[in-house]
Structure 1
Amino acid sequence: MKISLNWLKKYVFPINMDENQISNILTDIGLTVKGINNTDKDFILDMEITHNRTDAMSHYGIARDLYAVLRFRGYKVHLLKPEINEEINCNNKSRIQIFVKKHEECVRYSGMFISKIKIEPSPYWLISRLKSIGIKSINNIIDIMHFVMYELGHPIHIFDMDQIEDGKIIIKNAEKNTDFQFSDDIKIKLNETDLVIYDTVKPLSIAGMINNIKSNIHIRTKNIFIGSACFNPTIIRNIRKKHFLKIETQHLFEKDIDPNQTVYALQRTSFLIKNMTKNKIICSDIIDFYPNPVSFSKIKLRYNKIVNIIGRQISRKKIKKILLLLEMMIYYENDKYLFISVPSYRTDVQREIDVIEEILRIYGIHKIPIYNKQIKITTFPKIFYKTEHEIQKMFLEQLVCYGFHEIISSTIINEKEYSYLLNSFFNRKEIRVMNPVNQSHKLMRSSLLFNMIDCIKYNYNNNRIDSDIIKFFELGKIYYKRNNKFLEKTCLGIAISQKEKNESKNSPFFYLKGIIEQIFQKSGICNYTQILSKHPLLENGISMLYNHKNLVEIGKYKNNILKKNEMFYAEIDWKYLVSLIQEKKIIYVPFSRYPTSRRDLSLLVDKTFSFERINQLIKKKENHIIKKIKIYDLYEGSNLPISKKSYTISFFFESKKKTLTDKIINNLMKKIEFFLRKELKAEIREK
């Protein structure tokens, strides 16, 4: 938001202040303001206003807030409210009537008409004011409308009164397929959800934001109607997004504004028009629709709560002074608390904590001491999830949050259906039930994969799925013989299957792998390695090892038993995972205060080299400023030798002690390149 400093000074700098005083107040971030008292020069402040501070989205709003800060810091300044003139000649017999049919969407609507105006170019002062904040001058009436909107932060709209049929303003929802033309070449269709200002025949404006081309003022306009409204901001925002409307003042229409300012905005507009127009204009009385007046919010403010939140005792005298400067009136007090009323323009102050925030803001956060005790690395004796039940609950809840459904299946499988898969699980021999209830089901399962296939097939065949992707998990036991020993093992199986060929950008394999890695990271399991999987039923898969022991198998089920549907499966050694989590110690390390830098490196290596091998080789160098290594791209194909493939690897550098310069990072990248050339015979590709 652009704020003109010369414009701002009209309200809050009427008393002489030297240049250095103003500079110190307005330029805390180090910018020096010179020649500030020179009226021929202007300075534009590009300000970021938080979305909840609608009261500060104007020149007078900024001045009002700045006045409180300056006055509290001891500067002798006054706040000048924009002038209005209530002595305008009025025609009490107003020719305009206002009807509001959507009370919940229109909180207040005020209007007046002005006759015998003359459309002409604006004076220099008005043109220069608007130009300073990037607004192009159109004519004196439109420019005054824009001036008041940027001065007070309250939206207003103007119609050619002679185009208002029967002298009636009706606020209601549009009829279906209503044509609305707001320029010569742009026409849109309105429907029942659009809030529109009508006369008795046609729509005049979409909620005061954009006028119908027929109701706009023009060079021959003599009589105008000025409207000032307070609409429901959610309704306005939805209308604008639906019709892709874009206007310069949309930030005013889409925020909670003060309904108690509509009449004042009209008085200010009529005052400026009267002073600017040479003709003797005639104004009507203000017509005001305000069925449910908004009163000041009343809040109880406790002194002990202020101390608890801020962490420091502030004198009660200073607290009261700040409240009065912010126009928060005290209507009752005792030794323990204050009852205050908050002005209606402070729509963001609704609770006690909001008032405390305002007190701290004006008092100065920099005045609150911060005890700079260095944070020590803390070692916890054990992870928060101690028992297997707690670990199980954490894992399964996480999978449910990712959209997976838990299944519970039989431990006995159909021997005929899976005969071709048996005896293929790493020398596992199936265990047969001697007295089976069903002769076809007499094998104990040696993997959860079989049950996953059954469940997915059943859901496909019976149309029991609502989306194109099935996501299941099961925590259960498997049974097998090895070296004449009967073994029982608990596993966590996770499966994703696509109903048909899905053009989704995210591969199910990497999606499944990413979920497992996130759960591992949450559990403190980070230093695992990855190798190509040797699982007999999974293709293009990987094995995730921890301390050289197999923890997870992930891959694509390579049999066509599911026909056209793909299935990706992961099986986790549950007991081993639980033991790792229970032994893990959580170490808290504070975030670095210095930025992370990234460098990409493209290299050509032999096809037999996996990314994991490259990753482990670099990790062995144990450079403390390499925070993370990620694969960015992999390419095999044309323009490359048949025996080669290309990796693009991203390196992330970060230091706990200082900001890393380009020189430090570039020197380290040269060492990495030399190391990869030496160890892998890699060819570094041009950047």
Structure 2
Amino acid sequence: MKISLNWIKKYVFPLNMDENKISNILTDIGLTVKGIHNENQDFVLDVEITPNRTDAMSHYGIARDLYAVLKFRGYKVHLVKPIINEEIHCNNSNNKSNLSILVKIHDTCIRYSGIFISKIKIETSPCWLISRLRSIGIKSINNMIDIIHFVMYELGQPIHIFDMDQIEDKKIIIKNADNDTKFQSSDKIIRKLDEEDLVIYDTVKPLSIAGMINHIKSNIHVRTKNIFIGSACFNPIIIRNLIKKHSIKTETQHFFEKDTDPNQTVYALQRSAFLIKKIIKNKIICSDIIDCYPNPISISKIRLRYKNIINIIGKKISKKKIKKILSLLEMMIDSENDQYLLIRIPFYRTDVQREIDVIEEIFRIYGIHKIPIHNQIKIPTFPKIFFKTEYEIQKILFEQLVCFGFQEIISYTIRKNEEKFSSLLNSFLKRQEIKILNPVNYNYQFMRSSLIFSMIECIEYNIKNNRIKSNIKFFELGNIYYKINNKFLEKTYLGIAIYQKKKTESKNYPFFYLKGIIEQIFQKSGILNYTQILSKHPLLENGISILYNHKNLVELGKFKNHIFKKNEIFYAEIDWKYLVSIIQEKKIIYIPFSRYPTSRRDLSLLVDKTISFEKINQLIKKKENHIIKKIQIYDLYEGKNFPISKKSYTVSFFFESQKETLTDKIINNSMKEIELFLKKKLKAEIREK
């Protein structure tokens, strides 16, 4: 939006100010004050206004905002509102026109005001008006249309004008169009309207599409003697839909499609009538303003709490300064006490709807530059999960799983009799099943000894009832039951399962995805130093066991598939009580973030097939290379072009220092040490890079 500085100076006056200060406030640094005060020389600013700040989409709106800033910062300025003559219609005491306005759609047309002016003369605009419009890129057309454009850019209120003699029965009707209505607009395009379009009618024909573009017959021309000026506040959503639907491109649309102040429609008409009277030499006759405002919008009130201002801004601002800023922003105080202010928001501030919006305004006027910035930025260095109760830990981790797309299930603790894998599991773990003495259902006689049985049952149920449209992810926190040496035991586990309906391109993808979920839980819990070994779990194949302090914490792998044929279940079972105890006993260790960049190097090596990545990981950790921040497996390959007894790993090393930026020489020397170390310990062959 283009803004003329000379135009703004008509409303906000700097008095007794140092010339250099005026220059810095109103212009770019380096422009002379002499140039500013020269009426023949103007400076135009291209201002980008955020869509919510409709109050600043005008010269007076920007002047009003500028006044608040300058006044608060101690400059002696005055704000002058554009002049109107509220008694403009009194030129003729008998000027009560028969014009009427009827609004049929109150939810779309919030307010509509109009005025009838007769004995006007269409001619060229005066030089000052042409100059004002030209400064912001608006071409002069004639005195009436120029005044309409001037008031729009002065106040931000859209206005439209009709030839009064073309209005049938002197009646304005705002309603939806009739179906298949043909509308030939002033741009000579014939548009087809339907019942969703907002149109201004007389008793016979359409006059305008929502005041944005007129019918070719309702436009004013050089012979026009009587005019009707309308000022409206429409629902901006309806206007935006109309603009898009009918490809409307006019000056007015930019104002109509925003939230405008309904209380400004009458004022804009008074301003227009005042300027018409000022530039036309003969005496015009104005009717009373006809105003249709069926459901007046109530003024918004917001409670502003002092403590919230301090918490948000980060600095204590005196109550006196807060009240001064609110007064300059025309936010009136209804009531107050030591804790808060109850303030009324002016209608034109459609963007201020919450307490935080008011605080933002205070912050803006007070000055962001006045808020001190600390040299140190304080951020939490550990997850909030530490020192929590078991319930709070459960809540945090469950929310994390839900965010990953998992659904919680709650299943029976009694399993089916035909479960084939139960005996295999109990035999491996050297424990006995618990049989119910008096089962309610003969098919359910045993307590479950693993959560995987209830997971499978739940998945089967969903498959049979066609409830699975894609891959499914379940989790359950529950107890398992078993006997050892005739002693009844009960343990709590967190089970996580992924059911893959169709195979992806990589058959191991769900395994690594599930492993990543477990690692995310560990990261959230602050568990870092864990190890991985190949799992011997009888129900899981190609699985791993995750140990913490040499004690089993997680079993993870693919369920041995004898039930689901081509479909697969990937399952992880976490010892819940052990996990909770680790989290609760975890000590907080602060390691400052490095200010220096991280560098990455990849290493491809050929090793014996029996060597796992975890073994490589643990070996390198024991080497205690302090600049290695992280090690990740990048690729694993075995098969064609390699011996049967060998496999290839590509490992990514991430280097970082707390003291300096690592040079290529330091990193390359470290990589050579790692290569020699792996050759010695694992008899690894380093592949060509």
TM over 0.5: yes
Partner of 1:12: 12
Judge conservation of contact 1:109–1:288 (CA < 8 Å) in 2: yes
Within-5 A mapping of 1:262-411: 262-269=265-272, 285-294=288-297, 312=316, 314=318, 316=320, 321-328=324-331, 342-348=345-351, 358=361, 361-364=364-367, 367=370, 383-386=386-389, 388-396=390-398, 399=401, 402=405, 404-411=407-414
- Mapped pair 1:152 → 2:158: no
Judge conservation of contact 2:481–2:491 (CA < 8 Å) in 1: yes
Give me the whole-angstrom Cα distance separating, in 1, the residues matched to 2:567 and 2:241. Answer: 41
User: Deviation digits for residues 273-330 of structure 1, max 9, x if unmatched?
Assistant: 67778999776543221234456556788999988998647374x5665454333457
Give unmatched runs, 5+ long, in structure 2: 679-684
Partner of 1:170: 173
Give me the whole-angstrom Cα distance separating, in 1, the residues matched to 2:662 and 2:33. Answer: 44
Change (3 A) 1:75 1:499: same
Give me the whole-angstrom Cα distance separating, in 1, the residues matched to 2:549 and 2:583. Answer: 14
Judge conservation of contact 1:118–1:277 (CA < 8 Å) in 2: no
Change (3 A) 1:446 1:305: closer
SS at match of 1:559: coil
Larger radius of gyration: 2
1:552 alignment partner, one of 534, 551, 554: 554
User: Deviation digits for residues 532-560 of structure 1, max 9, x if unmatched?
Assistant: 77766557766555456553345555636
User: Deviation digits for residues 352-376 of structure 1, max 9, x if unmatched?
Assistant: 7766665565444655678889869
Partner of 1:129: 135
1:260 alignment partner, one of 258, 263, 272: 263
2:584 alignment partner, one of 582, 585, 593: 582
SS at match of 1:477: strand
Change (3 A) 1:431 1:342: closer
Q: State the shift of 1:107 in Å.
A: 2.8
Partner of 1:99: 102
Partner of 2:474: 472
Give me the whole-angstrom Cα distance separating, in 2, the residues matched to 1:54 and 1:185. Answer: 30
SS at match of 1:264: helix
Q: State the shift of 1:578 in Å.
A: 1.7
Change (3 A) 1:120 1:470: farther
What letter is aligned with 2:459?
I
Change (3 A) 1:590 1:279: farther
Judge conservation of contact 2:604–2:687 (CA < 8 Å) in 1: yes
Give me the whole-angstrom Cα distance separating, in 2, the residues matched to 1:59 and 1:137. Answer: 18
Change (3 A) 1:393 1:92: same
Change (3 A) 1:598 1:174: farther
User: Deviation digits for residues 195-220 of structure 1, max 9, x if unmatched?
Assistant: 55455566666655x54775785878
Judge conservation of contact 1:197–1:205 (CA < 8 Å) in 2: yes
Change (3 A) 1:628 1:433: closer
Partner of 2:428: 427
Within-5 A mapping of 1:33-48: 33-35=30-32, 37-38=34-35, 40=41, 42=43, 44=45, 46-47=47-48
2:111 alignment partner, one of 91, 108, 114: 108
Judge conservation of contact 1:118–1:279 (CA < 8 Å) in 2: no
What letter is aligned with 2:101?
I
Give me the whole-angstrom Cα distance separating, in 1, the residues matched to 2:324 and 2:588. Answer: 48
Judge conservation of contact 2:471–2:498 (CA < 8 Å) in 1: yes
Q: State the shift of 1:80 in Å.
A: 3.1
Give me the whole-angstrom Cα distance separating, in 2, the residues matched to 1:82 and 1:410. Answer: 79
Within-5 A mapping of 1:66-85: 66-84=66-84
Give unmatched runs, 5+ long, in structure 1: none
Give me the whole-angstrom Cα distance separating, in 1, the residues matched to 2:433 and 2:562. Answer: 26
Change (3 A) 1:543 1:443: same
Give me the whole-angstrom Cα distance separating, in 1, the residues matched to 2:616 and 2:279. Answer: 76
Aligned residue-pair number? 659
Change (3 A) 1:581 1:70: same
Q: State the shift of 1:264 in Å.
A: 2.2
What letter is aligned with 1:257?
T
Change (3 A) 1:543 1:332: closer
Give me the whole-angstrom Cα distance separating, in 1, the residues matched to 2:470 and 2:228. Answer: 57
SS at match of 2:79: coil
Q: State the shift of 1:21 in Å.
A: 0.7
Judge conservation of contact 1:424–1:536 (CA < 8 Å) in 2: yes
Give me the whole-angstrom Cα distance separating, in 1, the residues matched to 2:606 and 2:279. Answer: 81
Judge conservation of contact 2:383–2:525 (CA < 8 Å) in 1: no
Q: State the shift of 1:263 in Å.
A: 1.9
Q: State the shift of 1:458 in Å.
A: 1.3
Judge conservation of contact 2:103–2:173 (CA < 8 Å) in 1: yes
Give me the whole-angstrom Cα distance separating, in 2, the residues matched to 1:523 and 1:454. Answer: 30
Change (3 A) 1:623 1:267: farther
Partner of 1:59: 59
